[in-house]
């Protein structure tokens, strides 16, 4: 798309900022976290191990269905038994992913195509198999301290963990970042962690996520979305087809895509050709 030197992605509503969260393991403290996120309008992807439902430290399938399904949040794969994927044989690796997908889809009644790597463990062999298992995106544990949208969905690096000493500094930089100005590129803040880390026997610091959520939530210039919603939107943007002369764009997807192109705002309507 080099023939559109002033083409910029915008999120729905022509917003230039988006925020998403990702929390792992499906533990009881997720319920308290969800209450905080709902209070401030933040959305999260919860990565679950269906083979560990009903174990002493995990929520049951019944609670998952009652408390997670049908909310503003997303359910994603974290491995059937929370195993380190790079150590598994190909058949065992496929089962660890597919069994989790199957069980989570039975709970949600919809395809589950997102994931977070258990222990942050993966290699090129793991990544190459994920697409065959129907995984569209997968989160790593490598903090970037940056706000760039992902370019490799199966190696999606977050901005930071909530334990990061720079958390609020990053949040404030994101909220006031001039790179997200009207003429700049769209940016994304991605926070991850485990909700049990807020509990007394770990860090005893629920105030950390409360402070973050209260500061960054409720802003009219930020799109609050799950990991899956963001990746679906970015995929639609990357699927756009522009004519050679730059006079029109065809959107082959079912998602309207917001653009700032050649100095003006434009919506590439789903399934249509839009004049620029």
CB 70 within 8 A of CB 63: no
Which residues have CB under 8 Å from 37's CB, separation 6+?
21, 43, 44, 73, 213
Cβ of 91: how many Cβ atoms within 10 Å?
8
Taking only the tens place, the pLDDT of each residue in 25-79 is: 999 999 999 999 999 999 999 999 999 998 888 999 999 999 999 999 999 999 9
In 3D space, the residue among 22, 34, 1, 11 whose CA is nearest the CA of residue 186 turns out to be 11
- What is the pLDDT, as a whole number, of residue 54? 86
Confidence of residue 5 (pLDDT cuts 50, 70, 90): low
Whole-prediction pTM? 0.95
Which residue, 262, 266, 263, 265, is CA-closest to 250? 266
Rounded CA gap, 158 and 190, in Å? Answer: 5
In tens, the pLDDT along 131-162 reads 999 999 999 999 999 999 999 999 999 999 99
Write the pLDDT tens digit of every residue in 109-133: 999 999 999 999 999 999 999 999 9
pLDDT of residue 1: 41
Gap between the Cα atoms of 135 and 213, Å rounded = 29
CATH level 3 topology of 17-236: TIM Barrel (3.20.20)
Query: What are the boundaries of each domain within the chain?
Result: 17-236, 239-275
Chain mean pLDDT for the chain: 94
Per-residue pLDDT reduced to its tens digit, 215-272: 999 999 999 999 999 999 999 999 999 998 888 999 999 999 999 988 899 999 999 9
């Amino acid at each position: 798309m080099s023939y559109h030197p002033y083409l910029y992605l915008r999120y729905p509503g022509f917003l230039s900022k988006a925020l998403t969260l990702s929390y792992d393991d499906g533990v009881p403290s997720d319920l308290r976290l969800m209450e905080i996120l709902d209070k401030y309008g933040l959305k999260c992807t919860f990565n679950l191990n269906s083979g560990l439902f009903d174990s002493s430290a995990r929520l049951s399938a019944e609670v998952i269905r009652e408390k997670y399904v049908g909310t503003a949040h997303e359910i994603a794969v974290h491995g059937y038994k929370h195993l380190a994927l790079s150590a598994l044989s190909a058949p065992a690796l496929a089962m660890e992913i597919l069994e989790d997908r199957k069980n989570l889809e039975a709970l949600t009644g919809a395809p589950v195509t997102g994931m977070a790597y258990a222990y942050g463990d993966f290699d090129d062999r793991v990544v190459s198999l994920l697409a065959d298992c129907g995984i569209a995106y997968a989160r790593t544990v490598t903090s970037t301290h940056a706000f760039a949208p992902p370019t490799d969905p199966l190696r999606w690096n977050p901005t930071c963990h909530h334990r990061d000493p720079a958390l609020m500094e990053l949040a404030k930089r994101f909220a006031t970042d001039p790179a997200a100005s009207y003429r700049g590129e769209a940016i994304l803040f991605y926070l991850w962690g485990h909700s049990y880390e807020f509990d007394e026997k770990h860090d005893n610091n629920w105030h950390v996520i409360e402070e973050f959520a209260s500061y960054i939530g409720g802003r009219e210039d930020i799109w609050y979305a799950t990991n899956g919603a963001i990746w679906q939107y970015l995929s639609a943007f990357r699927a756009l087809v522009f004519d050679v002369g730059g006079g029109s764009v065809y959107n082959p997807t079912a998602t309207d895509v917001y653009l700032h192109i050649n100095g003006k705002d434009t919506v590439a309507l789903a399934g249509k050709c839009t004049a620029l």
